[in-house]
């Protein structure tokens, strides 16, 4: 038998993190990465067609994206574990894909006890039996560094892009940064791309008023972060000349607070005593933080039937009442139309703008 | 004042159906009184629906109605946080959010709530520790609380065993048997699953319950059917199906709209359990039972047709 065949690995589209998945799969695991096609209406139609009706929408998106990844040549699919229904995505996704007749190898992290360090080595060896653990770790950390950069630059982008005084240089700088990340093959590429983006973004003149409208985004971990899934809500708000702030991202939720959010809970003890779900503590903390900083409004984003985020809503309603901060609650499903969202956003914008003038 | 017994309110919904004996015995052993909300009716459902976020599941709406009915009627209302019993032994996140959810929904009502926490995976806190902490919060000693818990757990397990034995007898009876796969709070609530079992009995079908099985054995069998199923109660139900699918004429997957775990696990069941007629019935708040009865009637006709009895 010749050399073991190199795996063609894929993971569904997820915000702008696929550049980091690609980097880790190729540089750390020594496999090939198959980039799933960008999410489109077709992805959603495929996902919705084969999913159970009232599963949360990211399941449908991921199923669609996995089918498209298999069509693009992937032979190995990865699915993560998770604290909510996400932890059961893997088994059901695999079953549905196999029933459809697709052939592939499926690496489901829910099958591993992710609390144990030894398990990680088993997973790495499954991807590539010849992978060197030390090299893997070093390269993996570089992939995480890329994730942090993506989050930092994205955060910066939505805060300022609505105030670009040029004809789109700010957006161009962000796009160039993403291209650099998607094509990076070594640590130097990642660092150079990041530095170039910082410089480029700082050099674009901004036309920002003294006190711009500021809106905080809270919500469910997939839909709040994935621009396709939330119909580019952040860009739409920014285009109305709003500073858009979002704390929730992979860096903050996992890399900084991976071992629990005890220190965030300190400030919200009167609102909730426990974690109410995987992202409740961070969302409640950040909503109050925005309210205390005098932001003009909050947008709560979730997919249809997302249990943990439905349960966070009564707490957000109390924060809204206590601080007199308007909250726009948005639920996304596979059919949500752009037009409906635009109407609601415009009304929300008019309202917070009028309040700002009065207050 | 000091001699007055503490009165604990137990909402007749959600985990009440699983833990009623555990809860009642624990508080009684500690010399406290328990008061249970009345059976679900239209009023409770409507009050709960008004209090809940629209998109919440029917079970939560009913639960909030029961809590509302108890507000002002007792010193404390019990609202535990039951997160998990270990890895792949979680509860729906709704049971994790319960104490804070009711705390926020009923903020300003002046009602005090009582909680205990079970979270073995993250905090290494088991049920006994949760109960002892709760007992101490009520002013009892750790020793007395521990003793009360042991008594209560014994009573709970005894009651479950008795019910399991009762259901085992049902399987030996002659006649058509249909297995109801549902959370106990769905199966037993008069506004949800009770209409299903009542109808089945009325037309001469014997209803049996997937969750009325030895829990430990069911957890093991459930794992065979779905190795990464992470929800304790769904794993028990999966196990119950695996144990009894050959003893029944049909299976009804009964869930409350839009139950998160059921939405996924029931899909998996329909894909993996073959050779037995299956009905996927999702209940929402309806004012009548005619719709459900029509579906049950046709399901039973299908079973009879398949067995050549129609």
Q: What is the C-alpha separation between A309 and A112, in angstroms, rounded?
A: 26
Which residues 114-133 of B have a C-beta within 8 angstroms of A? 115, 117, 121-122
Please state, as a whole number, how many other Cβ atoms lie within 10 Å of the Cβ of residue B112. Answer: 10
Give the angle subtended at the CA of B195 by the CAs of B15 and B237, to the nearest 5°. 45
Q: Provide, as residue numbers in chain A, all residues whose Cβ is less than 8 Å from the Cβ of B81.
A: 274
> What residue in B sits closest to A284 (Cα-Cα)?
B100
Q: Which of A113, A280, A310 lies closest to B87 in CB terms?
A: A113
pLDDT for residue A335:
75
pLDDT for residue A1:
41
Measure in Å the smallest separation between the Cα of A218 and chain B Cα atoms.
17
Question: Could you give the strand order of the β-sheet that contains A327-332, starting from the edge strand earlier in sequence?
Answer: A242-246, A213-219, A297-303, A327-332
User: Backbone phi, then psi, for A11, in 5-degree steps?
Assistant: -135, 140
Q: Helix B215-225 vs helix B232-244: angle between axes, to the nearest 10 degrees? A: 80
- Among B95, B125, B263, B284, the strongest candidate for a mutation testing the A interface, having the largest count of A CBs within 10 A, is B263
pLDDT for residue B3:
62
Tens digits of per-residue pLDDT, A165-219? 999 999 999 999 999 999 999 999 999 999 999 999 999 999 999 999 999 999 9
Q: Contact B257/A56, CB-based, under 8 Å?
A: no
pLDDT for residue A3:
54
ipTM, two decimals = 0.95
Tens digits of per-residue pLDDT, A313-352? 999 999 999 999 999 999 999 876 799 999 999 999 999 9
Does the pTM of the predicted model rise above 0.80?
A: yes
Measure in Å the smallest separation between the Cα of A283 and chain B Cα atoms.
14
Q: Contact B229/A88, CB-based, under 8 Å?
A: yes
User: Please, which residues bridge with residue B231 across strands?
Assistant: B90
Q: Provide, as residue numbers in chain A, all residues whose Cβ is less than 8 Å from the Cβ of B233.
A: none
pLDDT for residue A4:
64
Q: What is the C-alpha separation between A19 and A182, in angstroms, rounded?
A: 5
* Residue B273 touches chain A, beta carbons under 8 Å: no
pLDDT for residue A203:
97
Please state, as a whole number, how many other Cβ atoms lie within 10 Å of the Cβ of residue B123. Answer: 16
Contacts of residue B235, defined as CB under 8 A and 6 or more positions apart, other chains included, come to: B88, B89, B218, B219, B222, B223, B226, B229
- Among B67, B86, B100, the strongest candidate for a mutation testing the A interface, having the largest count of A CBs within 10 A, is B100
pLDDT for residue B287:
72
Average pLDDT along chain B, 310 residues, taken 10 residues at a time: 82 98 98 97 96 97 98 98 96 97 97 98 95 97 98 98 96 96 97 95 97 97 96 98 97 97 98 96 86 96 90
pLDDT for residue A2:
46
Q: How many CA atoms lie within 13 A of A121 on its CB side?
A: 6
Please state, as a whole number, how many other Cβ atoms lie within 10 Å of the Cβ of residue A171. Answer: 16
Q: Provide, as residue numbers in chain B, all residues whose Cβ is less than 8 Å from the Cβ of A277.
A: 93, 96-97
Residues of chain A with pLDDT under 50: 1-2
- Among B48, B53, B115, B137, the strongest candidate for a mutation testing the A interface, having the largest count of A CBs within 10 A, is B53
Q: What is the C-alpha separation between A99 and A77, in angstroms, rounded?
A: 16
* Residue A56 touches chain B, beta carbons under 8 Å: yes
Q: Which of B105, B107, B264 lies closest to A55 in CB terms?
A: B264
Measure in Å the smallest separation between the Cα of B130 and chain A Cα atoms.
14
Q: Provide, as residue numbers in chain B, all residues whose Cβ is less than 8 Å from the Cβ of A100.
A: none
Q: Provide, as residue numbers in chain A, all residues whose Cβ is less than 8 Å from the Cβ of B112.
A: none
C-alpha dihedral, A98 to A104 to A109 to A111, nearest 10°: 60
| DSSP notation for B236-256 | HHHHHHHHHTTT-SEEEEEEE
Structure tokens at A270: 């009167």
């Amino acid at each position: 038998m010749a050399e073991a065949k190199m795996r063609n690995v894929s993971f569904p589209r997820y915000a702008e993190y696929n550049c980091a998945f690609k980097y880790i799969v190729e540089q750390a695991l020594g496999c090939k990465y198959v980039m799933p096609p960008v999410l489109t209406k077709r992805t959603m139609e495929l996902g919705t067609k084969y999913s159970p009706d009232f599963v949360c929408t990211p399941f449908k998106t991921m199923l669609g994206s996995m089918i498209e990844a298999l069509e693009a040549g992937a032979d190995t699919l990865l699915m993560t574990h998770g604290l909510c229904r996400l932890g059961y995505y893997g088994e059901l996704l695999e079953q549905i894909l196999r029933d459809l007749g697709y052939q592939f190898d499926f690496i489901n992290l829910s099958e591993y006890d992710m609390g144990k360090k030894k398990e990680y080595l088993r997973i790495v060896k499954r991807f590539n039996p010849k992978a060197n653990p030390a090299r893997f770790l070093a390269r993996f950390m570089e992939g995480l560094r890329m994730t942090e950069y993506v989050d930092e630059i994205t955060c910066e982008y939505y805060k300022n892009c609505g105030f670009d005084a040029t004809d789109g240089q700010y957006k161009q700088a962000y796009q160039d940064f993403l291209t650099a990340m998607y094509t990076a093959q070594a640590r130097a590429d990642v660092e150079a791309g990041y530095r170039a983006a910082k410089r480029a973004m700082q050099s674009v003149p901004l036309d920002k008023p003294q006190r711009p409208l500021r809106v905080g985004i809270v919500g469910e971990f997939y839909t709040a972060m994935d621009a396709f899934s939330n119909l580019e809500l952040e860009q739409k708000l920014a285009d109305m000349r709003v500073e858009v702030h979002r704390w929730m991202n992979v860096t903050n939720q996992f890399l900084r607070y991976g071992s629990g959010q005890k220190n965030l809970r300190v400030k919200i003890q009167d609102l909730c005593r426990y974690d109410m779900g995987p992202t409740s503590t961070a969302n409640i903390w950040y909503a109050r933080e925005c309210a205390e900083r005098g932001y003009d409004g909050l947008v709560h984003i979730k997919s249809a039937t997302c249990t943990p985020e439905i349960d966070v809503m009564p707490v957000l309603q109390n924060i809204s009442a206590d601080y007199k901060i308007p909250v726009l609650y948005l639920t996304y499903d596979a059919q949500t139309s752009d037009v409906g969202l635009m109407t609601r956003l415009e009304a929300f914008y008019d309202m917070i703008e009028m309040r700002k003038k009065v207050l | 004042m000091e001699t007055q017994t503490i009165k604990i309110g137990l909402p007749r919904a959600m985990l009440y159906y699983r833990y009623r004996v555990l809860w009642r015995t624990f508080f009684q052993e500690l010399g406290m009184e328990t008061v249970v909300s009345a059976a679900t009716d239209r009023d409770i459902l409507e009050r709960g629906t008004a209090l809940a976020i629209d998109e919440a599941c029917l079970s939560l709406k009913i639960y909030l109605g029961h809590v509302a009915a108890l507000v002002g009627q007792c010193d404390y209302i019990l609202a535990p946080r039951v997160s998990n019993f270990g890895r792949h032994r979680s509860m729906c996140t709704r049971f994790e959010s319960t104490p804070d959810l009711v705390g926020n929904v009923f903020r300003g009502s002046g009602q005090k709530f009582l909680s205990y926490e079970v979270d073995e995976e993250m905090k290494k806190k088991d049920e006994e520790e949760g109960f002892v902490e709760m007992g101490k919060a009520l002013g009892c000693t750790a020793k007395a609380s521990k003793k009360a818990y042991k008594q209560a757990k014994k009573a709970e397990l005894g009651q479950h065993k008795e019910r399991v034995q009762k259901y085992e007898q049902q399987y030996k009876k002659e006649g058509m048997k249909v297995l109801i796969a549902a959370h106990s709070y769905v199966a037993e609530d008069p506004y949800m699953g009770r209409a299903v079992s009542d109808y089945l009995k009325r037309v001469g079908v014997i209803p049996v319950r997937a969750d009325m099985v030895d829990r430990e054995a069911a957890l093991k069998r459930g794992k065979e059917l779905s190795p990464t199923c992470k929800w304790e109660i769904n794993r028990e139900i999966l196990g119950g199906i695996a144990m009894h699918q050959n003893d029944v004429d049909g299976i009804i997957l009964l869930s409350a709209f839009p139950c998160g775990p059921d939405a996924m696990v029931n899909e998996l069941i329909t894909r993996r359990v073959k050779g037995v007629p299956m009905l996927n019935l999702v209940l929402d708040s309806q004012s009548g039972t005619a719709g459900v009865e029509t579906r049950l009637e046709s399901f039973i006709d299908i079973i009879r047709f398949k067995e050549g009895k129609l």
